[in-house]
Amino acid sequence: MIEVYTDGSCRNKKGGWGYIILDNDFQLQDSGSESNTTNNRMELLAVINAIEFLIDMEYDECTLYTDSMLTMNCGKKLWKRNKNLDMWKRFDSLVSNITINWVWVKSHNGNHYNEAVDKLAYEQSK
């Protein structure tokens, strides 16, 4: 099973996102930044970018680890989506092509890959 760790960060309206994809011995990471944004938008963008990569590589299922309850619960449609509706529309168009098994992880709690994506996102938000 493909494992994906995602995180977003925002400082002074400059945001960063990052993801790490694990497939047996294979590991890939990516990150990026945006201006005039929010932390929640970056959390979601990390998920979207990771899913787009997986779909391009023809994966149809993943376990996605996030420390954002908002992203996970809105992604599972358990919570109402009030903001970033443009991105949620993009997300919804992607998830018809992939099954996501969501796992929430506590942030800054010693999970190696969660700490690594946190660092990626934070560095991009500088």
Name the catalytic one among 15, 16, 34, 43: 43
Verify whether residue 118 is a known catalytic residue. yes
Name the catalytic one among 15, 18, 67, 75: 67
The angle, 0 to 180 degrees and rounded to 10, between the axes of the packed helices 39-56 and 112-124 is 110
Name the catalytic one among 7, 15, 18, 75: 7
Instruction: Provide the 10 A C-beta neighbour count for residue 26.
Output: 8
Name the catalytic one among 58, 108, 110, 112: 108
Verify whether residue 60 is a known catalytic residue. no
- The sheet carrying 3-11 orders its strands as 26-34, 14-23, 3-11, 61-66, 99-104
Verify whether residue 86 is a known catalytic residue. no
Verify whether residue 43 is a known catalytic residue. yes
The residues assigned a catalytic role are 7-8, 43, 67, 108, 118
